[in-house]
Amino acid sequence: MASPGSSDLVIVANRLPVDRIENPDGSPGWRTSPGGLVSALEPVLRANDGTWIGWPGGTESDLEPFEADGMDLVPMAMSAREIEEFYEGFSNATLWPLYHDVVEKPLFHREWFDTYVEVNQRFAERAAEVAAEGATVWVHDYQLQLVPSMLRELRPDLRIGFYLHIPFPPAELFQQLPWRRQLLEGLLGADLVGFQLSGAAQNFVRLVRQRVGHKTHRDLVYLPDGRTVRAAAFPISIDFNLYADLAQTEGVAARAEEIREAVGNPSKVFLGVDRLDYTKGIYARLRAFGELIADGHLDVEDAVFVQVATPSREQVEQYRILRDDIERLVGRINGDLGKIGRPAIHYLHASYPREEMAALFRAADIMVVTPLRDGMNLVAKEYVACCHDDLGALVLSEFAGAAEELRQAWLINPYDINGMKSALLDAYRTDEREASRRMKAMRKTVRQHDVAAWADSFLAELAAVRPSHGKSVRP
């Protein structure tokens, strides 16, 4: 057994909550990392005074643990080859498309998996060094599915939780993976395996029964060594009050006004905010909006679309192709349908600080979230939290995890362009009473099920699955 460190709660995720960047004057600086995982876990780490192990982006190798913004961070180095084979390759060109309904073709390369094993092993070793005797280690997401069993091997005293932020695919798709058994066994190193939705947890248990041959009963897996692993759903959320309060500050209110002014004060602003990812359904959504203008249902004097596309995984080929496709489409729609000073779509390839996002959410009348498949989609919840006056409409894909909770949204099938067009139009034409009835109900849901409640319930369940082991972590 490796000798223990001093942290009672260790979060292990591929990314640190901050990315290393170079300031304009050449000095090193930090910037919040992209994606839902980081925005959800940051408040959890702060509340629990834990340590976060992850990659700060880039290839720098002489990295020491540091504190940023009051958080204890342990950076993991990654070589250029590991970035290519573990991160861009196996994580984002094999697992990501496979777990998202194969909306792009997953690539299977044996060298990529070998590097995935190596990097997972290094993360497990680092976690084993940092965790105190009997500590809780919470491992996150598809990049690190082998870490639970590797860590258990090194430190059987630990209480280990795993949470998957993205969908877990149906058995029919998962079975394509040449390394399916290794991944299932990797996850079974955890005491509790958490998913966004209960269907995902059921997929997992069924696969374990069929492929690994362990006995299962409902959400429990019985291992030959006497250990029990539980698989259950814990739908993730956001820090509701943080967004609700931010949206009501004077600065954000003034900036929201400025944004509406800048886009020509139309009667309705549509908004899309996504990482530039092929799972997000950006292309079909913009096409639907363009057709509504072309058909004469909407007028560019009256309705504009603001699309923020956050740069993501730019070295992966499918992401480059997607960017070109979307930019060509935006150019064509604006060229065909815009007027001087009145583009139909304001397209921004950029990432913005939280205040600017809150201002955009406040400025938007209709939030359009149309992924082809999404684990949860926290942007939908952030929008709801920012609608402090209960106005604002959410158009939401049935294939986002969030659709299970946000039933009062205008739910759409993102593959059905006509259906999406009628929902956009319906949300555009809705009266304030209807919008506010729907928004009130959604705000209540997100307020009650915020990220603190999510973390509390996961950590409480983790302690319950393994009561005789480990210290309790105050959720």
Positions in the binding site for ligand G6P (CB under 6 A): 14-15, 34-37, 141, 165-166, 312-313
Instruction: Give the nearest distance from C-beta 128 to ligand G6P in angstroms.
Output: 22
- The nearer residue to ligand G6P, 34 or 414, going by C-beta atoms, is 34
Residue closer to ligand G6P (CB basis): 104 or 291: 104
Comparing CA positions, the residue from 281, 310, 285, 302 lying closest to residue 344 is 302
CB of 270 to ligand G6P, least distance (A): 23
Residues whose CB is less than 8 angstroms from the CB of residue 36 and which lie 6 or more positions away in sequence, other chains included: 165, 236, 375, 376, 377, 378, 379
Residue 38 C-beta-side C-alpha neighbours within 13 Å: 18
Query: 265 with 302: CB under 8 angstroms?
Result: no
Name which of 38 and 135 has its Cβ closer to ligand G6P: 38
Q: Which long-range contacts (CB under 8 A, 24 or more apart) does 444-448 make?
A: 445/405, 445/406, 446/237, 446/238, 446/240, 446/381, 446/384, 446/385, 446/405, 446/406, 447/240, 447/244, 447/385
Residue whose C-alpha is closest to residue 103's, from 265, 231, 284: 284
| Distance in angstroms (rounded) separating the CA atoms of residues 57 and 35 | 13
Q: Nearest CA to 123 among 40, 9, 240, 15?
A: 15
Q: Which residues contact 32 (CB under 8 A, 6 or more apart)?
A: 17, 18, 19, 38, 353, 354
CB of 124 to ligand G6P, least distance (A): 17
Q: Which two tokens stand for residue 42?
A: 């940051």
Residue 131 CA to residue 124 CA, distance in Å, equals 11
Q: Residue 364 Cβ, how far from ligand G6P at the closest point, in Å? A: 22
Neighbours of 425 (CB within 10 A): 16
Q: What's 432's DSSP letter?
A: H
Would you say 36 or 266 has its CB closer to ligand G6P? 36
Indicate the residue whose CB is closest to ligand G6P.
35
| Nearer to ligand G6P among residue 15 and residue 362 (C-beta) | 15
**In the bound complex, what is the minimum distance in angstroms from residue 90's beta carbon to ligand G6P?**
12
Residue with smaller CB distance to ligand G6P, 138 or 289:
138
In terms of CB distance, is 93 or 151 closer to ligand G6P?
A: 93
CB of residue 87 to ligand G6P, shortest distance in Å: 7
Burial (CB count within 10 angstroms: exposed 0-12, middle 13-18, buried 19+), residue 47: middle
Query: What's the min distance (Å) between Cβ of 12 and ligand G6P?
Result: 12
Smallest gap, in angstroms, from Cβ of residue 173 to ligand G6P? 18
Q: Which is nearer to ligand G6P, 141 or 291 (CB)?
A: 141
Helix (H, G, I), strand (E, B) or coil at 54: strand
